[in-house]
Structure 1
Amino acid sequence: MAMATIGNSGAAERRVEDEIFRRGRDLRGSGFRTMLFAALAISILFLVVLLIQVFVDGWPVLDERFGDFWSGTLRSRSSDDKLGISQGMIGSFWIAVFVAVIAFPLGIAAAIYLEEYAPDNIVTKTIDIAIRNLAGVPSVVYGLLGLFLFVQTRELKDSTLYAGGITLAILVLPIVVITAAEAIRAVPSSLRQGAYGVGATKWDVIRTQILPFAAPGVLTGTLLALSRAVGEAAPLILVGAITGRLAPRDGSFLSLEQFSDRFTAMPIVIVGWVQESGRDAGFSAAAGAAIVVLLAFVISMNSVAVVLRNYFEKKRG
């Protein structure tokens, strides 16, 4: 037994000596790290090439007629000076409002209930699994759902702005629930126990301890969900958003009459112009400019999410 122990000790010493003489180099680890870096570099390269192509196509339009492009409407010819994205911006604005009004309160409330009130049983676990599965469902499926619920079941059988807005709100609702639930779950139990120790009620604990601590994660998740909703095209195409020419409307973009009319949105405008670029090359430049505007909006939303998260984390700390 003693000889076996000495033998094992000698083998261990030799392994240590090998590591020392290799000067700590881990060839397998280095190779794996190199593969990961190469995958990241290739992904970034494709993204950079795509962005450069979009900016090269779209920047002349924004540079030469920035004001007209913002205020213009969908036209049948790219050479028309009135060609622009105003109708798409109005549609995307109202879709974002629908998502914020419907998905955010329902998602956060559902997350609070699942984490703080729901019993830990098989029903709650099944609901949690179902919500996570719904978050991974392709967006085209939600488009089919919106087509059936909000378009085909209506007496007029016509697509409207509220149909697209509610459809996208349903699409991002599972994402809001998951992100809010994860943020609430990350709250230290010591905060809850300390509040209960001084006689606080369940609602007091949620209002004064849990929600302020979870606010950075909740805000980040909701704003990222809003960014995804604004950039979705497939559900809106199925619901019936206009990809071609849309007649200009009279009145302000705040008019309630537009909720009962046909609509379009920025992703749909881009899809329509890309389809038209085959017969009119000018639409390719217009589509590139619209992509730049949409990217700027999405990046702005993500930046706001980061700023708010950092602000609340500093305030919390």
Structure 2
Amino acid sequence: MNFKAEVLEKKIINKPKYPRKSEAIYNTEAGRIQKRIILDKAAKILFLLSTLFALLVLAILIFRIGHQSVGWLSLKFLKGNLSIFPEKAGIYGVIIGSIRLMAVVAPVTIILGVATAIYLEEYASKGKLQAFINTNISNLAGVPSVIFGLLGLTVFGRLLNLGSSILAGGLTMSLLVLPIVVVASQEAIRAVPGFLRDASYAMGASKWATIRTVVLPVALPGILTGSILALSRAIGETAPLVVLGIPTLILKIPTSIMDDFTALPIQIYYWTLDTVLTAEYANLAAATIIVLLVMLFLMNSTAIFIRNKFQKRY
């Protein structure tokens, strides 16, 4: 046996029984990666099942409502007036009241909300006062809607003597959804890149000109998204209007913002309660829910179309 063979034999005999440190680290990292892959697959399956469950519940509800509204949702129902007799009842006045209510809520909420966001993000000094205001606005977004109903009843209904008019209801609902618009508008304005502002200032533009021609157009998609969510919540809220004392049987069609009115969610709520006495009211409530869902779909589709148009432009 030559010298090289002896050296090779000694290396084989004296080979360590345990893997080297680098191999141990590699095996540990491989195990962690495998665990992460398994966890990722489990989370994906869990989220998929949650989504499918939510869609299943939604499909069951829509099917149930659609089935109950068959034979009741008709042109006569849409153009008729409210009645104590289910077979004669219609919701034309209710639809007009809801549209006029949103005609008050939309401009008040969007104008005040966007203006507040512009002031807090562009003009207000960064400090404790701004942080205090932002914290309170965020907290207002989580306040129960009944509290806003009590506030509207006290301030608009009694103090300003607006009663249960469209203006009182619109201002009350505006207070309810205003924090949502403010927070969403702040986030949209905050997301505008700083170099766009710097470029505008470098061209000699004033602060307001920069906000009006640069910041707002870029932030508009985010602002519209928050407005969509806010108005969708406003048109479907019931508790503030109940507290405000909105009546449920209005035979007169509202023609101005000072007239009494009733809205779609109010009518759905009371017709659902009346099913204990008359079973046909459940069919009226289901037909009214379909109308409310169509109105929500049209509102959201229009706003999403406008948002996507500005996203492509800017």
What is the TM-score normalised by the length of structure 2?
0.88
- The answer to whether residue 49 in structure 2 is matched with residue 38 in structure 1 is yes
Which residue pairs with 2:250 in the alignment?
246
**Cα distance in structure 2, aligned partners of 1:272 and 1:137:** 24
Structure 1 stretch displaced more, 11-20 or 181-190 = 11-20
Larger Rg: 2
Contact 1:61 1:286 in 2 (8 A): yes
Q: Deviations over 1:254-286 (max 9, x none)?
A: x33xx4443210101111211122222221111
SS at match of 1:61: coil
Which residue pairs with 1:75 in the alignment?
83
User: Which AA in structure 1 matches 2:217?
Assistant: P
**Cα distance in structure 2, aligned partners of 1:124 and 1:72:** 51
**Cα distance in structure 2, aligned partners of 1:17 and 1:96:** 58
* 1:126-141 superposed matches below 5 A: 126-141=132-147
CA RMSD in angstroms comes to: 2.1
Q: Deviations over 1:223-267 (max 9, x none)?
A: 321121111111000001113x22334xxx5x33xx444321010
Structure 1 stretch displaced more, 302-311 or 10-19 = 10-19
Q: Percent identity?
A: 40
Number of residue pairs aligned between Structure 1 and Structure 2: 297
User: Which AA in structure 2 matches 1:188?
Assistant: P
Which residue pairs with 1:13 in the alignment?
26
SS at match of 1:159: coil
**Cα distance in structure 1, aligned partners of 2:213 and 2:245:** 44
1:76 Cα deviation from its structure 2 partner: 0.6
Contact 1:77 1:280 in 2 (8 A): no
Q: In the alignment, which of 161, 165, 171 is matched to residue 166 of structure 2? A: 161
Which residue pairs with 2:302 in the alignment?
304
Contact 1:220 1:308 in 2 (8 A): no
* 1:135-284 superposed matches below 5 A: 135-153=141-159, 158-243=163-248, 245-249=249-253, 253=254, 255-256=255-256, 259-284=257-282
- The answer to whether residue 70 in structure 2 is matched with residue 59 in structure 1 is yes
Which residue pairs with 1:47 in the alignment?
58
User: Which AA in structure 2 matches 1:46?
Assistant: V
Q: Deviations over 1:98-147 (max 9, x none)?
A: 11221111111111111111110100011011111111111111111111
User: Which AA in structure 2 matches 1:167?
Assistant: T
5+ residue gaps, structure 2, are: 1-15
**Cα distance in structure 1, aligned partners of 2:164 and 2:36:** 63
User: Which AA in structure 2 matches 1:106?
Assistant: L
**Cα distance in structure 1, aligned partners of 2:39 and 2:112:** 48
